[in-house]
């Protein structure tokens, strides 16, 4: 069917592609959904919405979706640490 050399050649090429992709730095998102912001901050989604509604945590609107800047989350958490 296929000779061993052909199979090994394909395996090496696949391995090279995998290693290349694993070594690329991941691009981190700066703007998070409220759900992602809750995971990032350790707060519940409900608690974040409460602070957003009270304008304690600034957000950006994109159509119907609400986005929270990671930098603003970090600043907010620093201001409110106990």
**Which long-range contacts (C-beta less than 8 Å, at least 24 apart) are formed by 19-27?**
none
Tell me what the mean pLDDT of segment 42-55 comes to. Answer: 94
Residue 80, C-beta contacts closer than 8 angstroms, at least 6 positions apart: 56
- Report pLDDT for 36: 95
Model-level pTM?
Answer: 0.64
Highest mean pLDDT, choosing among 8-12, 22-26, 55-59: 55-59
- For tokens 């696949």, what's the residue? 14
Rounded to whole angstroms, how far apart are CA atoms 9 and 19? 16
């Amino acid at each position: 069917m296929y000779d061993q050399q052909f199979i090994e050649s394909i395996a090496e090429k696949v391995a090279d592609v995998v290693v290349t992709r694993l070594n690329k730095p991941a691009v981190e998102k700066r703007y998070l959904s409220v759900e992602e912001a809750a995971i990032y901050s350790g707060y519940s989604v409900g608690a974040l919405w409460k602070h957003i509604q009270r304008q304690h945590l600034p957000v950006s609107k994109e159509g119907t979706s609400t986005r929270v800047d990671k930098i603003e989350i970090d600043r907010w958490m620093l201001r409110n640490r106990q």
